[in-house]
Amino acid sequence: MQITIKETTIQKLASDGKVNEGTERVDLKQVSITFPKIPQDLAEFRSIDRKGDNGRFVTMALLICAYKNWTLDNEDLCAEMMKELMNSPTAGNSYSNFTRSFVKERMMQNNKWKFIADAYFDGAAPNNGYTPSVPLTITLREYPYLPQTSTYYGKELKVDRIVSDFKGADSERSIQVYEDPTDGKWYIWSDSFGSLLADIKTSL
């Protein structure tokens, strides 16, 4: 599947790590990823490139697409897509039964499966029932002062945080991702996938 990526630079207030409040304006990369449609099978999902600098943003966008594919009648497709994003050459089989159960619990809560993924697409807001604009686009940005290196399963990996400033909450939502040196792809770090499934606004 061919996606379109548009890069821009934005400025945000960011803490320098020494003060409680953000006081410094920093330039951050922002990426808008447009999908011709939601990937509906593993072949389409796997065809989307997660290598290179933009792969960190694409990984988070694909997690949102995986959540979009979770339904009451079929948890399996979301599970298989999440495995693609979590089971890396370095970490092995990070996707577990706990992962599946956690996702199901959050999706079932308040029928969240009906709208939680849509909330992260451009144009979606509480006052329009989280209806995304067309074409389907997800806009994400990097986090200040990252990436950092961390030891994961005995390897030094580059770990980054990718952020959504979506309209479903008063604060940003983010996940952590890392670049696996074995295949050059970006993967979801640990259990950070869960942060996108927290409760969101039901009205403005």
Longest dimension (CA), the chain: 49
Specify if 26 maps to a domain.
Answer: yes
The pLDDT assigned to 146 comes to 81
Provide the residue range defining the domain that includes 164: 4-195
Contacts of 203 (CB under 8 A, 6+ apart): 126, 127
Specify if 203 maps to a domain.
Answer: no
The pLDDT assigned to 23 comes to 58
What residue type is assigned to position 35 of the chain?
F
The whole-model pTM stands at: 0.94
Specify if 143 maps to a domain.
Answer: yes
Specify if 145 maps to a domain.
Answer: yes
Contacts of 26 (CB under 8 A, 6+ apart): 11, 12, 14, 144, 145
Specify if 176 maps to a domain.
Answer: yes
Number of structural domains in the chain: 1
**52: number of Cβ within 10 Å:** 12
Specify if 179 maps to a domain.
Answer: yes
Specify if 172 maps to a domain.
Answer: yes
The pLDDT assigned to 17 comes to 45
Tokens 């050059």 — which residue?
Answer: 184
Show the low-confidence residues of the chain (pLDDT under 50): 16-20
The pLDDT assigned to 147 comes to 85
Helices (H), the chain: 42-46, 55-68, 76-86, 97-108
Specify if 171 maps to a domain.
Answer: yes
**13: number of Cβ within 10 Å:** 11
